Amino acid sequence: MTSSTERLVGVLSEFARTLLTDYPVQDLLEELIRHAVDLLPIDAAGVSLISQRTRPRMVASRGPAAAEFEQLQTDLDEGPCIAAYSSEHPILVPDLAVETPFPRFAKHAREAGLAAVFAFPLRSADRRVGALDLYRTSAGDLDPQDLAVAQTLADVATVYVLNAEDRIARTEFVSSVSHELRTPMTSIGGYTELLSDETAGALSPRQRQFVEAIERNTRRAAALASDLLVVATLESRAPRPHVSLDLVAVAHEAHDALEASIAERDVSVEFDIAAEPLLVEGRAEDLERVVVNLVGNALKFTPDGGHVRCSVSRTAESEGQGLGSFARIEVSDDGVGIPEDEQPQLFTRFFRSSTAETHQIQGTGLGLHIVATIVREHHGRIGVRSQHQQGSTFTVDLPTAD
């Protein structure tokens, strides 16, 4: 293998590893064109996204004046980038001094020191999304191997952009469906309450039984819509700023929020929250959700007379992460437990253990998935120890910020 092929193989395998992740597409494209400038005999590069209704929008650029050349094409509505997008073929201009189909771009670009430009379409079998532009300050062709490398990088960029677009479309769909479901659900809930209050007339025992079944299932559907909305928000990857916050204060908020559910049950619940502040980087609303979901589950899966304990403390070490300071949230119960063979699936979407099903304990199967997603976003770890019929302990370790 020649050394440039070797380097391309290295770059491609690095990108292959990130394909299934949800890194921000902008960061990935910037990384990709950084490699384009390293691997190819060019001085600068840029990626612009284009659709049938929009002018090119630059998403990444590298090297002298690349951003300026991308912008120039947008402003003039003319240039190799648009031509590559429209024709779905590479547009190769080894010498801008020779007549080109985009004279206005050529004139301005040459004045800015550009001598050659090579544009490669970002396209798949049935969609096209933009173009990768390679810029050079000296005239001359790219050899066939370089052309192949450039189109390969453009194809990788296409996959990222299409993946990101699909992810956003899916998330927006789930999010609007959950919103739309809320209104009828609230209405069903309201009318059922009126029936249950006997506002519309006395209920026979059989009618009451039916109304109670409607109430139960309305609560269930409302919980599902609300959990789906949380999942969609978490997956949307909209910039979610992390700030320095006190986990101790968050745990007290969670305790307050849980009071009504605790009061409903004959289970003793003990909160043991550190006296000193515990600073972590994150989002208070999300971390409160972690505590509420874990304690909520412990309550749900512990029969009357049982015990639940939630502690929030500083710990010196997190398993497998070496030394360092961590904030630990530990929630334990002596409830129904989770069969060992089912534990690996606990954090996957919609998973409900056989115990939950046998005991007919209601839930959406989304709570732990939400918890695990939040913990991952906070660079933390989550673990579980549990034995069937002996109770469970969930442990979350978050890096501290002090």
Chain residues in the site for ligand ADP (CB under 6 A)? 297-298, 301, 333, 335-338, 346, 351-353, 355-356, 363-369, 392
User: Residue 266 has which token pair?
Assistant: 């004959």
In this complex, which beta carbon is closest to ligand ADP, that of residue 329 or of residue 336? 336
| Distance in Å, CB of 368 to ligand ADP, minimum | 3
| Pick 150 or 366: Cβ nearer ligand ADP | 366
Give 115 or 356: the residue with its C-beta nearer to ligand ADP: 356
Secondary structure, 3-state, the chain? CCHHHHHHHHHHHHHHHHCCCCCCHHHHHHHHHHHHHHHCCCCEEEEEECCCCCCCEEEEEECCCHHHHHHHHHHHCCCHHHHHHHHCCCEEECCCCCCCCCHHHHHHHHHCCCCEEEEEEEECCCCEEEEEEEEECCCCCCCHHHHHHHHHHHHHHHHHHHHHHHHHHHHHHHHHHHHHHHHHHHHHHHHHHHHHCCCCCCCCHHHHHHHHHHHHHHHHHHHHHHHHHHHHHHHCCCCCCCEEEEHHHHHHHHHHHHHHHHHHCCCEEEEEECCCCCEEEECHHHHHHHHHHHHHHHHHCCCCCCEEEEEEEEEEECCCCCEEEEEEEEEEECCCCCCHHHHHHCCCCCCCCHHHHHCCCCCCCCHHHHHHHHHHHCCCEEEEEEECCCEEEEEEEEEECC
Q: How far is the CB of 354 from ligand ADP (least distance, A)?
A: 8
Residue 396 Cβ, how far from ligand ADP at the closest point, in Å? 13
Whichever of 336 and 374 has its CB closer to ligand ADP, that residue is 336
Between residues 116 and 374, which has the closer beta carbon with respect to ligand ADP? 374
User: For 325, what's the count of Cα atoms within 13 Å in the CB-facing half-sphere?
Assistant: 8
Least separation, in Å, of the C-beta of 355 and ligand ADP? 6
Q: Which one, 100 or 373, has the nearer CB to ligand ADP?
A: 373
CB of 299 to ligand ADP, least distance (A): 8
* Nearest residue (CB) to ligand ADP, 107 versus 216: 216
CB count within 10 Å of CB 46 equals: 29
Beta carbon of residue 308, minimum distance to ligand ADP (angstroms, whole number): 8
**Separation of CA 92 from chain center:** 38
Q: Are 40 and 106 in contact (CB under 8 A)?
A: no
Minimum CB separation of residue 264 from ligand ADP in Å reads 16
Query: Rounded to the nearest whole angstrom, what is the least distance from the CB of residue 261 to ligand ADP in the complex?
Result: 13
Residues 268, 299, 288: CA angle, nearest 5 degrees: 105
Closest CA to 374 of 181, 224, 231: 231
Minimum gap (Å) between residue 353 Cβ and ligand ADP: 3
Report the nearest approach of ligand ADP to the CB of residue 356 (Å).
3
Maximum distance among all alpha carbons in the chain?
A: 91
For ligand ADP, give the closer residue by CB, 7 or 349: 349
Question: Judged by CB, which is closer to ligand ADP: 82, or 290?
Answer: 290
Output 46 or 337, the one with its CB closest to ligand ADP.
Answer: 337
